[in-house]
Chains A and B, each alone.
Chain A
Amino acid sequence: MREIKASAITEAIARLSMEANYELEDDVQKSLEAAYEREESPAGKEVLRQILENSKIARTERMPICQDTGLAILFVEMGQDVHVVGGDFETAVDAGVRKGYTDGYLRKSVLADPVRGGNTGDNTPAIVHLRIVPGDKLAIYVVPKGGGSENMSKIAMMKPADGLEGVKRFVTESVRTASGNPCPPIVVGVGIGGSFERCAYLAKKALLRPIGSVHADPFYTDLEKELLMLVNDTGVGPMGLGGRVTALAVHVETAPRHIASFPVAVNMNCHAARHKYVEL
């Protein structure tokens, strides 16, 4: 059994919340630079130029890349030999979000009640997806997620007869109808299979993968490539102004499904595809 202090979890999450919002990770930065080179549309190229200049300012001046610093979404893998001491895990996580969003001058975008409103004032509670895994480490992914791209995400409980063609149609149409709203060039997370909620979780989890990574199964690697081509052929382009770069990547994650169900989920991430990772 390895002990990890609750305060260490709080400190790590506070730091990652700030860094994620100030600094694009290398995979996203490089992908945007490549997109700028490849974009054919003048309006699209100008948007990408502004995005790259913005990234530089945010990094240098420690300002948020986007004013929508998002819901604090965390994926946590906790080793089964980890013992959290000096406080409870969930309180430590929210304390980290509170500290990061307050000390870092990040926007507080959480309403306490979905219908009656009332800002919680500190961007808590976090949304935490926790898995217990072998080992004595604690792996934390912080993924601040803005509302604009989240609002364009979709789930379909398709018929098994819809098959692979149905998946392609659904993903492509979702991106086309989202148009400029999710702030393209986007990263598209696709979940296939599982249950209703597992499928949505997979689509979100697909956004954690670094741009340039591919699915381990060659069948799905090919599908990711084809979907990226189809999505870029919509012509939506940077900020929807028209262009050849609509998505930086399409990531597919899959799970076994019920014989009667064929859930497919599309979770979109904006070009400020923020993600930070730490292992304690």
Chain B
Amino acid sequence: MMAEHTLTVPLTKDIIVTLKAGDTVRLSGVVYTARDAAHKRLVDLIAEGKELPIPLEGQVIYYVGPAPTPPGKVIGSAGPTTSYRMDPYAPTLIEHGLRGMIGKGERTGQVVESMKKHGAVYFAATGGAAALISKSIHAVEIVAYEDLGAEAIRRLEVKDFPLIVAQDSHGGNVYREGQKAYAR
């Protein structure tokens, strides 16, 4: 049976283990944005033993590069980008305390192992529902890498961001299970 959760970041390991693939989540609190280029910089900093521009412990990263903010709006359209491109970097961030990732499309290999080992979860947002998702974002601040434009790291305050637990910390995978159920 799919459960419905209302969660607020930061997320503890105790919360993470209760989330099962297929559950729906309304997420509130702070999430940080990062995509390809920002991930590379974060992982390089970790390798050099330097301090990161954002906290990781208990945090959630949203894979998004928003459209420019039109006058009178908090943020432009801001839907998820495809997550597999962050797979080379995600395990390092999870080892350093990251508890949640938001994106679209399946994760594989090391990321899944790392989620199981350290207790992290992967949430799917609806790709292409970018104007709708922007309504869940109530404050935005660029906190690092402004030179990357749309790819800069932003601190977002979100309220009731609609998500699905796509892959959980026990190996549950909504893509595999869902597709199997509807294939003919």
A-to-B contact residues, CB < 8 Å = 40-41, 43-44, 46-47, 50-51, 53-54, 57-58, 61-69, 105-109, 119, 147-148, 151, 179-181, 183, 233-237, 239-244, 270-272
Which 6 pairs across A and B sit closest by C-beta, in order of nearness? A242-B178, A235-B183, A235-B182, A54-B132, A181-B105, A183-B127
- B50 proximal to A (CB < 8 A): no
- B45 proximal to A (CB < 8 A): no
A243: which B residues are within 8 A, CB to CB?
A: 178, 182
Apart from A46-B24, A105-B70, list 4 A-B contacts with CB within 8 A.
A147-B82, A151-B82, A242-B174, A242-B175
By the criterion CB–CB under 8 Å, are B182 and A65 in contact? no
Contact of B179 among A51, A64, A65, A237 (CB under 8 A): A237
By the criterion CB–CB under 8 Å, are A233 and B184 in contact? yes
Given A67-B79, A233-B183: A148 and B106 within 8 A (CB)? no
A179: which B residues are within 8 A, CB to CB?
A: 105-106, 175, 179
Tell me, rounded to whole Å, the shortest Cβ–Cβ distance linking A140 to chain B: 23
- B104 proximal to A (CB < 8 A): yes
Tell me, rounded to whole Å, the shortest Cβ–Cβ distance linking A174 to chain B: 15
By the criterion CB–CB under 8 Å, are A51 and B129 in contact? yes
A244: which B residues are within 8 A, CB to CB?
A: 182
Q: Number of contacts between A and B (CB, 8 Å)?
A: 163
Given A43-B174, A53-B132, A107-B150: A67 and B179 within 8 A (CB)? no
By the criterion CB–CB under 8 Å, are B183 and A234 in contact? yes
By the criterion CB–CB under 8 Å, are A43 and B76 in contact? no
Given A67-B67, A235-B183: A181 and B82 within 8 A (CB)? yes
By the criterion CB–CB under 8 Å, are A41 and B181 in contact? yes
By the criterion CB–CB under 8 Å, are A69 and B67 in contact? yes
Contact of B128 among A61, A181, A236, A271 (CB under 8 A): A271
Contact of A239 among B24, B70, B127, B162 (CB under 8 A): B127
A57 CA / B135 CA spacing, docked (Å): 10
By the criterion CB–CB under 8 Å, are B77 and A63 in contact? yes
Given A54-B130, A237-B182: A64 and B104 within 8 A (CB)? no
By the criterion CB–CB under 8 Å, are B174 and A241 in contact? yes
Contact of A119 among B77, B84, B132, B149 (CB under 8 A): B149
How many residues of B are counted as interface, with CB atoms below 8 angstroms from the partner's CB atoms?
Answer: 46
By the criterion CB–CB under 8 Å, are B105 and A105 in contact? no
A63: which B residues are within 8 A, CB to CB?
A: 67, 70, 73, 76-77, 130-131, 134
Tell me, rounded to whole Å, the shortest Cβ–Cβ distance linking A206 to chain B: 20
- B53 proximal to A (CB < 8 A): no
B180: which A residues are within 8 A, CB to CB?
A: 235, 242
B-to-A contact residues, CB < 8 Å = 22, 24, 64-70, 73, 76-79, 81-82, 84, 104-106, 124, 126-135, 149-150, 162, 164, 166, 174-175, 177-184
Q: List 30 A-B contacts (CB under 8 A).
A: A41-B182, A43-B22, A50-B129, A51-B126, A53-B129, A57-B132, A63-B130, A65-B130, A65-B131, A66-B77, A67-B76, A68-B65, A105-B67, A105-B69, A105-B70, A107-B67, A107-B150, A148-B104, A179-B106, A179-B175, A179-B179, A180-B104, A181-B106, A183-B104, A183-B127, A233-B183, A234-B179, A241-B175, A242-B179, A270-B128
By the criterion CB–CB under 8 Å, are A240 and B68 in contact? no
By the criterion CB–CB under 8 Å, are A66 and B150 in contact? no
A64: which B residues are within 8 A, CB to CB?
A: 67, 76-77, 130-131
Closest A residue, CB atoms, query B78: A67
A41 CA / B175 CA spacing, docked (Å): 12
A61: which B residues are within 8 A, CB to CB?
A: 131
By the criterion CB–CB under 8 Å, are B184 and A50 in contact? no
A271 CA / B128 CA spacing, docked (Å): 8
Given A106-B67, A181-B105: A148 and B82 within 8 A (CB)? yes
A179 CA / B79 CA spacing, docked (Å): 18
By the criterion CB–CB under 8 Å, are A54 and B182 in contact? no
Given A51-B129, A67-B76: A240 and B175 within 8 A (CB)? yes
By the criterion CB–CB under 8 Å, are B178 and A41 in contact? yes
